[in-house]
Amino acid sequence: MRKIRFIYQKEYPESLDVNKWKKILEEASSLNFNSFSLKILDNIEDKKLKEFLDLVSNHNFLIELEDNSPWNEGKRKVFIESNVHLFWLTFYSLKENKSQENLEKINYLRSKSLPIGFRYILTKENFNEVFDLPGFLKNIRYCPRQFILEEISPLEGKNFNKKLLIEPKQLKLYFPFIKKYILGFPHRLNPNAKIYSNYQDTEYYPFISGEEIIIEGNGDVHPFPFLNFKKAGNVFSDSILKVHERLNEELNELTLEKAEKGKFLNWFSVISDCPKLKETNFQDINRVILPDSFNILMTNKCNFKCDFCEFDCKPEDTEAIDIKDFEKLLKEGKQLGISRLIFDGGEPLLHPDIKKAFKIVKDLDYSATILTNGWHFKDFLEDYKKANINNFIFGLYGASSKSHDKIVDKEGAFDKCVSAIKLSKELGYLTGLHTVLHPLSFHELDKFFDLAEEWKIDYIMISSITPVGRAKNNQNLVLSEDQKKKISKIYQNHHDFLSKITFQGYQPQPGQNLSCKYLNRSGPLGVYWNGSIALCSMLPLLNLPFLKIKDHNLIGSLIFMNKINELFQTDRKKEFSAWCLKTKKSEHCLYCHEKLSKKIGKYISS
């Protein structure tokens, strides 16, 4: 979801003028922004706050609110009557004398069954308190829906001081704790809690792609909150359409050289303190953004034959990643600080050595998520338990057996998948759904969300169909323009439910943004069934000569990939200066697929 963050400051009392914001919200909505976060640094008159929140809600924005000022009865009444989906509370200390006001707010929100988000700001002074967080949350008996740990930044306003930045020696203590904390704590207390750290999950910082805009109290928008860039414009004097366009242009110029080295860049290009890295040329290393996880396509074998499958996987396929390569990959990843992976495919549970793979995951202490069609889910229940695997995403492509079974070409697939989903929830696993925007099941999208809410699903991802692989010559898989126009409305119909879970909903839009986690090197690393280290998980389509983990170490492969990526990015920016398609329509993956297919020799030889 695209989000606007607005910071209210008392020196700009007219900044909440509903007449100004009506036009801003209408334009933002046309750019597919549908989430609004209001951070209140100073007290606001109750009536003005109510009018503003009502305006945002009436424009179908999901509202998040952070108000660190005291809450009187009038303000509490506003909160009850307003359609706020998440209340954020920021802690600078866990000591009772310094957090008493927040504790009172928690008790109030709990008494009204209102959802909260919890931010803990790390500073040099409060650093040691971070280790008391698990006990602190258990004591207050109210786990937040979202949880963010972050270093103090200029966004903290008057609380910010560069002298409060945590030191490298503190980070060495923090890294092992946060990994254990993220893996071990939230799911035991509340499986719906989403936890972010600016040292572990760059997904919390979508500013880089322009998916999130921060508007200061005077209306100014800067391309990046922590860097000294010129402003992209002012929403009160400029059209937000123009501001967003300039924002994307400025973000294209974002480079490591322009940042304050070592300041506010830890989450953008973390280089782990490990001996392996010191064996390689530092200049090459410094340009590599380490992945946060592995996305491993375990096998191209699948017991289904989905009509949209980009890899053309089928029951008779037999290729699978060698279990020795799998173990080598995970061992080297551990040395670089990677501790999460996704089992993907084909159908990963059909890998001939899947039980050995689970044991390796357990022995190396990785957190694993399994993407599965659900058919063989029940066959490995004891193995999940032994390996501490408790995250599952099920591919459900229709809301009825009629549509789902036809799409996957397997009778009984829907009933089998639903049974697996319900059992996953019953066992207390984090349970997600993946679906695609498919013409055969589009009319059931509302029903799909209703079922997800009934089953208390924790995560939903909705993808478009990329016309490659089996879908390449099947134009019947393309949504009509009328269907595309309905997608946003369908999402809004279920926003109460979707705001409470992790939701990634693809939506076709004009000016398609070409930013991508894989290309920006800010997300998972693609690895596919012949052991190749890929730029992304789509590369099996291209059969490109990338390095294999069997023959090369991981950091060398990352450096190799990064150099190819830099050349590719340069060409891409020449064609689309703002990473946005204005005249030519193309999807993310199809664009890269076509370009890399035609020019990969150029990038490899360079």
Q: Check whether 483 has a pLDDT greater than 60.
A: yes
* Residues 471, 439 contacting (CB under 8 angstroms): no
What's the average model confidence in pLDDT over 466-494? 84
Per-residue confidence band for 575, with pLDDT thresholds at 50, 70 and 90? low
Taking the C-alpha atoms of residue 520 and residue 372, their distance in angstroms, rounded to an integer, is 27
Per-residue model confidence as pLDDT tens digits over 404-458: 999 999 999 999 999 999 999 999 999 999 999 999 999 999 999 999 999 999 9
Angle of CA points 247, 249, 253, to nearest 5°: 110
In which residue are the tokens 């030519």 written?
584
3-state secondary structure at position 122: strand
Pick from 15-24, 163-172, 185-194, 517-526: least confident: 185-194
* Residues 302, 533 contacting (CB under 8 angstroms): no
Pick from 261-275, 512-526, 579-593: least confident: 261-275
Q: What is the DSSP string of 394-448?
A: EE---SSHHHHHHHHT-TTHHHHHHHHHHHHHHTT-EEEEEEE--TTTGGGHHHH
Contacts 24+ apart (CB under 8 A), 402-405: 403/438, 403/440, 403/441, 403/444, 404/441
Give the per-residue pLDDT at 557. Answer: 82
Taking the C-alpha atoms of residue 228 and residue 247, their distance in angstroms, rounded to an integer, is 14
Report CA 413 to chain centroid distance, whole Å.
29
Q: Check whether 259 has a pLDDT greater than 60.
A: no
Of 291 and 233, the structure prediction assigns the larger pLDDT to 233
Taking the C-alpha atoms of residue 17 and residue 23, their distance in angstroms, rounded to an integer, is 11
CB atoms within 10 A of CB 584: 9
Taking the C-alpha atoms of residue 108 and residue 603, their distance in angstroms, rounded to an integer, is 58
CB atoms within 10 A of CB 287: 16
Taking the C-alpha atoms of residue 604 and residue 606, their distance in angstroms, rounded to an integer, is 5
**Fold for the domain defined by 276-553:** TIM Barrel (3.20.20)
Give the per-residue pLDDT at 595. Answer: 73
What's the average model confidence in pLDDT over 39-49? 89
| DSSP tag of 287 | T
CA dihedral 100, 104, 109, 115 (to 10 degrees): 10
Most confident stretch, 96-110, 131-145, 570-584: 96-110
Give the per-residue pLDDT at 339. Answer: 82
Reference 562, options 533, 528, 594; nearest CA is: 533
Most confident stretch, 88-92, 193-197, 321-325: 321-325
Reference 555, options 275, 202, 268, 174; nearest CA is: 275
Please, what is the average pLDDT of the chain? 78
In which residue are the tokens 């591919």 written?
395
* Residues 302, 373 contacting (CB under 8 angstroms): yes
CA distance between the termini of the chain: 37
Class of residue 52 by CB neighbours under 10 A (exposed 0-12, middle 13-18, buried 19+):
buried
Per-residue model confidence as pLDDT tens digits over 298-321: 999 999 999 999 888 999 999 999
Reference 465, options 598, 297, 582, 311; nearest CA is: 311
3-state secondary structure at position 502: strand
Give the per-residue pLDDT at 427. Answer: 95
Q: Per DSSP, what are the bridge partners of residue 120?
A: 91, 149
Q: Per DSSP, what are the bridge partners of residue 150?
A: 121
State residue 168 phi and psi, 5-degree precision: -55, -40
What's the average model confidence in pLDDT over 538-556? 73
Q: Check whether 295 has a pLDDT greater than 80.
A: yes
Domain edges within the chain:
1-80+205-270, 83-193, 276-553, 563-605
Per-residue model confidence as pLDDT tens digits over 336-388: 778 889 999 899 999 999 999 999 999 999 999 999 999 999 999 999 999 99
Reference 341, options 322, 327, 320; nearest CA is: 327
Taking the C-alpha atoms of residue 515 and residue 252, their distance in angstroms, rounded to an integer, is 10
Give the per-residue pLDDT at 32. Answer: 75
3-state secondary structure at position 285: helix
Q: Check whether 24 has a pLDDT greater than 90.
A: yes
Structure tokens at 85: 């989906």
Domain 83-193 has CATH 3.30.70: no
Report pTM: 0.63
In which residue are the tokens 């989905």 written?
306
Q: Check whether 197 has a pLDDT greater than 50.
A: no
* Residues 405, 412 contacting (CB under 8 angstroms): yes
Please compute, for residue 297, the number of CA atoms within 13 A of its CA located in the half-sphere on the CB side.
26
Q: 437-464 burial, b for 16+ CB within 10 Å, e for fewer? A: bbebbbebbeebbebbeeeebbbbbbbb
Q: What is the CA radius of gyration of the chain?
A: 24
CB atoms within 10 A of CB 304: 20
Which parts of 131-274 fold into alpha helices (H)? 133-140, 168-184, 186-189, 240-252
Largest CA distance in the chain: 68
Give the per-residue pLDDT at 289. Answer: 59
Most confident stretch, 76-85, 198-207, 242-251, 422-431: 422-431
What's the average model confidence in pLDDT over 172-179? 61
Taking the C-alpha atoms of residue 279 and residue 234, their distance in angstroms, rounded to an integer, is 47
Give the per-residue pLDDT at 273. Answer: 36
Angle of CA points 62, 65, 71, to nearest 5°: 140
CA dihedral 574, 576, 578, 579 (to 10 degrees): -120
Give the per-residue pLDDT at 182. Answer: 46
Q: Check whether 511 has a pLDDT greater than 50.
A: no
Per-residue confidence band for 121, with pLDDT thresholds at 50, 70 and 90? confident
* Residues 194, 145 contacting (CB under 8 angstroms): yes
